[in-house]
């Protein structure tokens, strides 16, 4: 089953094309990561899927219903969490859940039970009476997620839910998303964090309103050719020595080491070849596993296989 399908979905803002003829299918039950830099079109795409923004051209359907022609049949099945905190700051956590639950048509009994269950599972139970404005950043995001879940939607549209949240809260938040995934929900989550991409079942890398890469995290990593090596020690000198070397697909400073993508060969062969190329420098060359961040960095410069 398909949760979301877009066909040539386009959105212009004045002279800027934020989403450019985007065609995309998101299978039901996936945790779909929308990656990409600021301004790539992630928020625009999510807002169009949430029916709060109109498409300039093309269309999208959610569980088979068009977001432009039948938004009222789409909205009951989706939960939309905007990038900005959108709860009432002067209402308590419980009052916010109560309000948005009521608005979504959740009956009184279900409101009470769901609200307390959600708050308990998110560790917010003891803050139920606290006004939303006095919550920490991570708690605010969890409150928004809880409000989004009150009517038990099948598809969650989350726009950068963990941006600006501390690492511990981020991990907790993703723990909740995993549980939702296990429970069969479809999640579309925009994130600028590459480490979060690895936790998705499916990812798409957006740039300038178009999809540049699309697949499972393993597929994306598998697309990067060659072997990834880390060069420690005099890494800037090493980068200088390797520049112009035809076998280097890409090389970057990464913290206090250099990361080099060597065109082919097993890890062991690549290490030996790079050490040979860096003879004379006291460099420490070791193979490292490819991660999403490295994969996207290299895929942006290297033609895919």
Partner 1 sequence: MRAAGIRIGAIVRKEFRHLWRDRRLLGIVLLLPIMQLLLFSYAISFDVKHIPTLVVDQDRTAASRAYVSAYAASGFFDVVGQDSQTSAVDTVFARGDASVAVVVPAGFGQRVAQDLTPQVAVLVDGSDPNAARIGAAYATALNASLSQKATVTWTTREGYDVARSGFLEPRMRTWYNPDRNSSIFLIPGLIVAIIAIVTVQQTAVTLVRERDLGTREQMLVSPLRGWELMVGKLLPWTLLAFADIAVIVVLGQVVFGLPIRGSLWFLTVAAAVFVFCSLGMGLIISAVAPSIEVANIVGLLGSFLPGFLLSGLAFPLASVPWLLRAISYLFPARYMVTISRGVFLKGAGWAELWPQLALLSAYAVIAVALAVLLAKRRERV
Residue 80 binds to partner 1 (criterion: CB under 8 A): yes
Of residues 130 and 252, the one with the C-beta less far from partner 1: 130
Are residues 299 and 220 in contact, defined by beta-carbon separation less than 8 angstroms? yes
**3-state SS class at 85:** coil
Residue 37 binds to partner 1 (criterion: CB under 8 A): no
Q: How many Cβ atoms are within 10 Å of 143's Cβ, its own excluded?
A: 25
Residue 174 binds to partner 1 (criterion: CB under 8 A): no
Which residue in 32, 100, 262, 296 binds partner 1 (CB under 8 A)? Answer: 100
| Structure-derived torsion over alpha carbons of residues 153, 154, 157, 160, reported in degrees to the nearest 10 | 90
Which residue in 1, 14, 15, 72 binds partner 1 (CB under 8 A)? Answer: 72
Alpha-carbon distance of 141 to 159, in angstroms, equals 11
Q: How many Cβ atoms are within 10 Å of 246's Cβ, its own excluded?
A: 6
Q: How many Cβ atoms are within 10 Å of 210's Cβ, its own excluded?
A: 17
Alpha-carbon distance of 170 to 176, in angstroms, equals 10
Of residues 153 and 217, the one with the C-beta less far from partner 1: 153
Residue 16 binds to partner 1 (criterion: CB under 8 A): no
Tell me the window of 16-24, 97-105, 115-123, 237-245 that interacts with partner 1 (CB under 8 A): 97-105
Residue 89 binds to partner 1 (criterion: CB under 8 A): yes
Nearest CA to 79 out of 206, 202, 189, 197 is that of 189
Are residues 5 and 60 in contact, defined by beta-carbon separation less than 8 angstroms? yes
Which residue in 50, 197, 257, 261 binds partner 1 (CB under 8 A)? Answer: 50
Query: Of 102-121, which residues contact partner 1 (CB under 8 A)?
Result: 102-105
Least Å distance, CB 196 to partner 1, is 23
Give the binding site for partner 1 (CB under 8 A). 50-54, 71-72, 75-76, 78, 80, 82, 84-91, 95, 99-100, 102-105, 131, 147
């Amino acid at each position: 089953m398909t949760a979301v399908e877009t066909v040539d979905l386009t959105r212009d803002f004045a002279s800027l094309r934020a989403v450019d003829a985007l065609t995309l299918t998101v299978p039901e039950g996936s945790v779909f990561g929308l990656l990409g830099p600021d301004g790539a079109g992630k928020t625009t795409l999510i807002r169009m899927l949430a029916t709060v923004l109109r498409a300039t051209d093309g269309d999208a359907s959610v569980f088979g219903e068009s977001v432009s022609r039948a938004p009222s049949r789409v909205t009951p099945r989706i939960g939309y969490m905007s990038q900005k905190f959108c709860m009432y700051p002067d209402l308590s956590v419980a009052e916010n859940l109560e309000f948005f639950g009521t608005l979504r048509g959740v009956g009184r009994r279900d409101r009470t039970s769901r609200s307390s269950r959600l708050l308990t599972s998110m560790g917010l139970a003891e803050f139920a009476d606290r006004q939303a404005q006095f919550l920490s950043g991570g708690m605010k995001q969890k409150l928004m997620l809880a409000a989004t879940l009150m009517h038990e939607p099948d598809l969650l549209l989350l726009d950068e839910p963990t941006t600006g949240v501390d690492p511990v809260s981020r991990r907790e938040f993703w723990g909740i998303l995993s549980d939702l995934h296990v429970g069969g929900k479809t999640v579309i989550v925009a994130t600028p964090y590459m480490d979060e991409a690895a936790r998705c079942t499916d990812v798409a890398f957006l740039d300038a309103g178009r999809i540049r890469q699309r697949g499972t995290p393993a597929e994306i990593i598998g697309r990067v050719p060659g072997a990834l090596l880390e060069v420690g020690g005099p890494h800037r000198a090493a980068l200088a020595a390797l520049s112009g070397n035809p076998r280097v697909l890409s090389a970057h400073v990464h913290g206090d080491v250099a990361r080099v993508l060597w065109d082919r060969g097993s890890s062991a062969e690549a290490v030996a070849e790079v050490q040979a190329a860096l003879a004379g420098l006291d460099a420490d060359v070791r193979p490292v596993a490819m991660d999403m961040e490295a994969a996207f960095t290299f895929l942006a410069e290297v033609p895919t296989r």
